[in-house]
Amino acid sequence: MVFLTALSKVLPIFLLILLGVALRRWRFVGPETVQDLRRVVVNITLPAVLFLAFSQVTLAPQYLVVVAIMFTACLLALLLGRWLTGPLRVDSAYLPSLLTGFEAGMMGYAIYAAVYGAETIYKFGIVDLGQVLFVFFVLVPGLERLTHGARPLSATALSFLKTPVILAILGGLLFKATGLTELFTASPLLNSTLETLGLLGALTTPLVALVIGYGLTLRAGALARPVRTVAVRLLLWLPFGLALSVFVVGRLLGLDQEFQAAVLTMVLLPPPFVIPMFMAKATEEDANYVVNTLTLATLVTLFAYALVPTIFPPGL
């Protein structure tokens, strides 16, 4: 009964993803339209959700512990991935990158908010911050070295601060710290601005689901390496996520079940979708390996995510 209730929370997302698949098969919309929708999500609707959520947040010391643990865990997984290239029989420089980092922006926020509500999304944002720091300052510079060579740290830091998601989080925190949240909420006219952001934010989950469904494709080629990669990724991250959510986030830090669910949501997510953007010099075999791994990992997330509300029921 608990599993069926949890499944009912996730099923609408799954159905919207199937609609995205159908839109591609029917050629109802073109790739350019879907790319435009992706930009709308990344630059408008998701930042709107995060700004509203973090405009209600007062930062606590426990949050920094979660950020530090996620950053460190991602870094260790990257280092472990370099050692696993031989044992896994995956002769690809991209294996370590596929074992670490998470696609929170285009997937995590949407599925978490669909089950636990947009008002709690800041909890997922806290968990995400650690892995975002890792992606920007470790993973992406490493991928850039494979393609274009090293990039200055100042350029990386500037790129991080200009990211719409980071700007929205910082803007929301500043909004709260300066007392503007209370001011806008108390005024019906000013509050209409916040309500507009709420309407924009509500578009995030359906748009993300359609975009993900549209992009679910497997390229021709061997699937053995992608299957092994996704399996090892789950074996690494799922036990870690359960231990972190239950023993550290729940018992040690005393954070609620929605925080625990945010951790478990994170570790079930596929690798960052930005990885193919840094493969200009990759062989066709490597390109197929990465794309197929991302697709398989996304499918695993969609089916496995029903476990999260089963373990951590929303509203408790």
Residue 64 contacts by C-beta under 8 Å, 6 or more apart in sequence? none
Distance CA 211, CA 200 (A): 17
Distance CA 245, CA 261 (A): 7
pLDDT of 132 = 93
Residues 53-89 have pLDDT tens digits of 999 888 899 999 999 999 999 999 999 998 888 888 8
Place of tokens 């975009």: 211
pLDDT of 149 = 62
Fold designation for 2-211+221-307: Na+/H+ antiporter like fold (1.20.1530)
Distance CA 140, CA 132 (A): 10
Q: Which of 308, 299, 314, 316 is nearest to 242 (CA)?
A: 308
pTM: 0.89
Distance CA 75, CA 96 (A): 10
Distance CA 305, CA 234 (A): 13
pLDDT of 217 = 80
Residues of the chain with pLDDT > 90: what percent?
Answer: 65
Amino acid at 59: L
23 pLDDT higher than 60: yes
Residues of the chain with pLDDT > 70: what percent?
Answer: 95
Residue 284: both structure tokens together: 């066709």
47 pLDDT higher than 80: yes
Query: What is the residue-averaged pLDDT of the chain?
Result: 90
Distance CA 69, CA 131 (A): 9
145 against 314, higher pLDDT: 314
Residues 87-139 have pLDDT tens digits of 888 788 899 999 999 999 889 999 999 899 888 999 999 999 999 999 999 99
